[in-house]
A = this chain, B = another copy of it.
Amino acid sequence: MSEERRQAVLRAIVEGYVETHEPVGSKALAETRSLGVSSATIRNDMAVLEEQGLIAQPHTSAGRIPTDKGYRSFVDHIAALAIPDAHKRAIGTFLSDAMDVNDVVERSVRLLSQLTRQVAVVQYPSLRQSAVRRVELVRLGSEHALVVVVSEDARVDQQTLPLGEPTSDEAFERAITEVNAASVGLRGAELERSLAEWAGRPGQVPWAGAVAATVLTSSRGGTVERVVFAGTSNLARAGAGLETDSIGPVLDALEEQVVLLRLLHEMTTSGDDVSVRIGAETHHEALSRTSIVAAAYGRDASSLVGALGPTRMDYPGTMAAVRAVARYLSKVVEH
């Protein structure tokens, strides 16, 4: 009754179920997997595993399938992740000739969805703070203006803001000149001080504070958090997908960026290691039949890549691919 063998049995059940999508029985296990024991022994182990809540049987006279808890145990006991050479090469060639950040993210998410055959999710990297190169203000009608901030490391942020009250053309032009004088080439605390001084001048336009805030946010590393995904069709793929009626809610959750972002935020990872949420662990009704494998990348491991699929996914393979892409992204983002 070695604890070790029971883990092996669990592993075999998970692997078998992922492969066939059908409950796996003791006999089949004893024959195909090379555990050196008979089906009866396996049955005994199964009884224990079931008592522990790691596996379950859908009907009385059917094989067993892993529970969420079972997958969790399986994942926690994975020793090493190996990524196929083909994948390794694919990552190199696919991502090497990307030009800008957009391009990198776009390619990554597509590649990852192909490698894992799941829905891939990539959060835009939060970039390091960098000096301001140019601030541009453009009138939008009489009540709004657009602020465009171009930073030294080639990020372009834009934001619309209300002017509050009509502003004369001269005041507007002067504001442009002044805010550039106050911010170009600066960053961090220095930039903050300079902008505060500018915005605080007597007789200053009323919206100067808002402009200053925008410039500062932009310099600090980008504004909005964005998430892109690809490979949604994998959800519907026959054989490997979910039940038909589950996929609608999942698509909704994906389109609802907020949900996705919150979920990713919750997945704090230790080191560069891969983090996994299984089924109900996502704390989200629509995703209760799906799992998410995610890994952090970039400076301070502040952004995330991930793959989302049915709980019955190929965890080792997915984890390996996600980790590989995350590592590659880290390299690229840090130039």
Chain A contact residues, CB within 8 Å of chain B: 99-100, 103, 133-134, 136, 138-141, 144, 146, 148, 150, 152-154, 156, 158, 160, 230-238, 241, 244-245, 247-252, 255, 335
Contact = CB atoms under 8 A, between A and B. Distances in A.
Given A150-B148, A160-B100, A249-B233, A136 B133 contact: yes
A269 to B, nearest CB: 27
Nearest to A161: B99
A287 to B, nearest CB: 13
Nearest to A237: B248
17 contacts: A100-B140, A100-B158, A103-B160, A133-B138, A134-B136, A136-B150, A138-B150, A141-B335, A146-B156, A156-B158, A230-B255, A232-B232, A233-B251, A234-B248, A236-B248, A237-B248, A247-B247
Given A100-B160, A136-B150, 11 more contacts: A99-B140, A133-B138, A138-B152, A231-B255, A232-B232, A233-B249, A233-B251, A233-B255, A236-B236, A237-B248, A238-B244
Given A100-B160, A138-B154, A150-B148, A244 B233 contact: no
Contacts of A250: 233
Nearest to A241: B248
Nearest to A254: B232
Contacts of A234: 248
A140 to B, nearest CB: 5
A232 B229 CA distance: 13
B156 A156 contact: yes
